[in-house]
Structure 1
Amino acid sequence: METPEGAATNRRAEATQDARSHAVELPSDTEPTLRLLEQYSGIDPKDVPGLVRQVVMVEQQAQALTVFPYGCIKSFWFLNLVPTLDDPRYQAVAERLRTPRSTETFLDVGCCLGPVVRLLASQGVPDDRLHGTDLHAGFLDLGHELFGDRGRSRATYVAGDILDESDARLDVLRGKIDIIYALAFFHLFEREGQLEAAKRMVGFLRPENPRVMIFGQNQGPKIEGWEKYVLDPGRWTSLWEEVGRATGTRWRTEMEVESTDKWNNVRFGVYRIV
């Protein structure tokens, strides 16, 4: 009987073999991910766009949409590494994780197919210190299929509900993480959900490390009600003051806001006060 790992390997081989005849035009902002597939996964550059189509798409429909219908799936935004690479905090974190003798660990929450975890591995961070989590196990499985690293990557991927304290699947992360990345994550929830997610993240952080941090980005359209999802600097600080009271910790927040006529984009950092 064919194992799930064997089936995935066979599908990947078929996809690569058939890639040139199934080319798909991808947005320009997916270019860093396409290069990652070449460098990390060892895929022939000519086969990469077709492989993305074969793994992610089924009969012209996004296979990932059957896991959960996020809008970023249709637009391929979930494969956009540009916001990550352009983030000064990410650049500093990657250097910090590569430092000789570093034992610090990294977690990408809401990692989807996990391109950021693979990006760090390709940039020289030992993958046994890298973690990804998502509510949907199907995204994690598609990530292994797309990047072809099931069985060879030492990174840890855990499916679980960060808003559900009773979801014991995420207990494996408790007290073991030094740096948490939350790209396009907090804006999925209104303030109460953000509060619950933040408290759970605090539980993931290593209590003995004074340099633990949480960073990432949020964005949303300038329409009525969206301020409940993308908090401004004052409400973001207030949120983390409440997190501190609930968890017996103290936090310093940073936020940079970039606005256009139609969108609010924010970058943030959260640091423990000791």
Structure 2
Amino acid sequence: MRIFDPHIHMTSRTTDDYEAMRAAGVRALVEPSFWLGQPRTSPESFFDYFDSLLGWEPFRAAQYGIAHHCTLALNPKEANDPRCTPVLDELPRYLIKDSVVAVGEIGYDSMTPAEDHALAAQLQLAAEHELPALVHTPHRDKAAGLKRTIDVVRESNLPPEYVALDHLNETTVRDAADSGCWLGFSIYPDTKMDPPRMVKILQAHGTGRMLVNSAADWGRSDPLKTREVGDAMLAAGFTEDDVDQVLWRNPVAFYGQSGRLDLDSVAAEDTPATHEGNSILRGGE
């Protein structure tokens, strides 16, 4: 089983996670920029973070034979902080980087006017750079947030097939599917979706345009949930080809629209031992 996790925050994970993911079948991932758990106080802190997603994390992933790409954006939560909004002016210089395969995470947290502006502005940036957009749907009042999101997408210059609506569930899947966008589902240990519920959605709505991710981050989460979904699909009677479509070919098709997806086999033994003089190893001389 080959797995492409289309949404996972490896900055928050350990090298043990990379090793376990490789053993479970993960061969590629996309890491969206997101909120780090406490407020940033300046745009410069974003830029250091973006640089790490373009350099250090691909290096770490390569040590385990995993292809790493990223999406960059001003996230919805921090779009409300005037100290952070200058990031919007600097994003274009990052969106031209080869390993940036989408603009994201963008979307809504509390559905404020500031979030309206940031979402519309970044959808426009995605259109200008011919990149897909990864859109975070809010955890609170999800149905209303999805409707508002779809309205903004329709008003933008970005075609719906270039948009993934993430963190969906049973209450939002139908409206999301009707929008023409891609459908993202985050599989968590306690919240959002779990593997049995995901299988039921796939049984009801099919495997087309479906993106299944772990969204693993610094909270209670599990980077192997994508593998659990694949196993649950097989146990429920889906074919290996169905599993491959959901866990590999669908994310390849979505992010491949960027023209930047590089999934050539990453051989750990062929990767540099250090990145800017730093290694993932500890100890020794």
- TM-score normalised by length of structure 2: 0.33
Radius of gyration: which is bigger?
Answer: 1
- TM-score normalised by length of structure 1: 0.34
Relative CO higher for 1 or 2, CA cutoff 8 Å, sep ≥ 6? 2
